[in-house]
Amino acid sequence: MFYREAGDFKTSYQSDSQTFPIKFDRYRYYVVLVVAFGIIPFIINDYWANSLLLPFLIYAIAAIGLNILVGYCGQVSLGTGGFMAVGAYAVYKLMTAFPEVSMFIHVILAGGITAAVGVLFGLPSLRIKGFYLAVATLAAQFFLVWLFNRVPWFYNYSASGQINAPEREVFGVIITGANAPAWATYLFCLVFLTLCALIARNLTRGTMGRTWMAIRDMDIAAEIIGVNPLKAKMTAFAVSSFFIGISGALFFALYLGAVEVGEAFGIQKSFLVLFMVIIGGLGSIFGSFAGAAFLVLLPVVLKVVGADMLGWPTDIVAHLQLVIVGALIIVFLIMEPHGLAQLWRVAKEKLRLWPFPH
């Protein structure tokens, strides 16, 4: 009853199978887009951008990419941090080699380079799976971090070993560097997140998404009915790495500005994105948003409540965050494996019937 579905008729298969078949959901989606594009850029400041909004937008892209691989195709990956590093170093080399080219092109090309690297490290998935595939992707994580540390060409022979994002403009507005306004970096990341979410949503609802899910559910049966496991797994690794590479490029160029690969893209980054997918919900685009929002908001809330209001030491607050995340992962894996996304689905079904019980 909350949704007021009376009179919301479907007269074609296309309207019945659209992403938001309920009119109220579509209106809510449009309102979110209007607020995100039309209101937040006018009220945003540096604190909100750096502490909440930019991390959420960038991690949401990475979580969507990892969710395609783990949640939709069932291929375990622990190399997300390494693939984000590939995107970061790729966009750095492109920015320094071709300064006249638009940042949009640089970020997309960085995603394409990461996709190629992801396919290369995804080849073992044709012969191994489960724990062994997780170890193979973990090896990719350590190898890529080692490579970017040991080969000076990647950081342009800098004495410090760091890479620093040069100042670049889009439509005459600075979006990288110390002088970039908060609203410009926010809108740039928001555009990429919106496009990535739309592409991922359509891919997962189409033929490619069905082949991924067939491989995830039972790869032998999928191969018997005609699904090509080579094509399905390699496309999953490619699309996933493409999104993760874009997130790595944005994380370096627009958020951090300066990066040392071991600190910014270590194994902790891989586990952080994986935790976002687990808590948000495997096999759900909305779950990627929910998991990213939760793990970005959690340290900020704990700092405000624990350190500022209750006066707890900052190290206790930091350790409490790890305890909460670990406990939530255990609870969700046991009680609700589909994460926050499933809780949202259940809540929506209740609201569709409220105030009636069934």
Question: Per-domain residue ranges for the chain?
Answer: 36-267
Angle between helices 285-302 and 54-67 (to 10 degrees): 140
State the Cα–Cα distance between residues 118 and 104, nearest whole angstrom. 21
C-beta atoms surrounding 131 within 10 Å? 9
Q: Output the pLDDT for position 358.
A: 62
Sign of the Cα pseudo-torsion (90, 93, 97, 102, in order):
positive
Q: Are 141 and 79 in contact (CB under 8 A)?
A: yes
Distances (CA, A) of 9 to 109, 289, 314: 43, 29, 55
Q: E-strand spans in 171-265?
A: 173-174, 258-259
**In this structure, are residues 230 and 98 in contact, taking their beta carbons and an 8 Å threshold?**
no
Q: What is the DSSP letter of 53?
A: I
Instruction: Select from 138, 119, 83, 70 the least CA-distant residue to 276.
Output: 70
Report the residue count for the chain. 358
- Helix (H) or strand (E) segment spanning residue 163: strand 163-164
Backbone angles phi, psi at 204, to 5 degrees: -70, -20
- The Cα 134–Cα 274 span in angstroms is 12
Specify whether the CB–CB gap between 290 and 283 falls below 8 A: no
What dihedral angle (degrees, nearest 10) is formed by the CA atoms of 123, 126, 127, 129?
Answer: 100
Cβ partners under 8 Å of residue 72, min gap 6: 204, 209, 212, 213, 216, 236, 283
pLDDT score, position 334: 86
Q: How far is CA 59 from CA 278, 308, 344, in A?
A: 14, 26, 20
DSSP letter at 170 equals E
- Pick the closest to residue 243 from 187, 176, 195, 303 (CA basis): 195
pLDDT value, residue 22: 76
Q: Which residues of the chain have pLDDT under 70?
A: 1-6, 357-358
Q: Give the pLDDT of residue 314.
A: 81
- Separation of alpha carbons 104 and 19, rounded Å: 27
Taking the C-alpha atoms of residue 252 and residue 263, their distance in angstroms, rounded to an integer, is 12
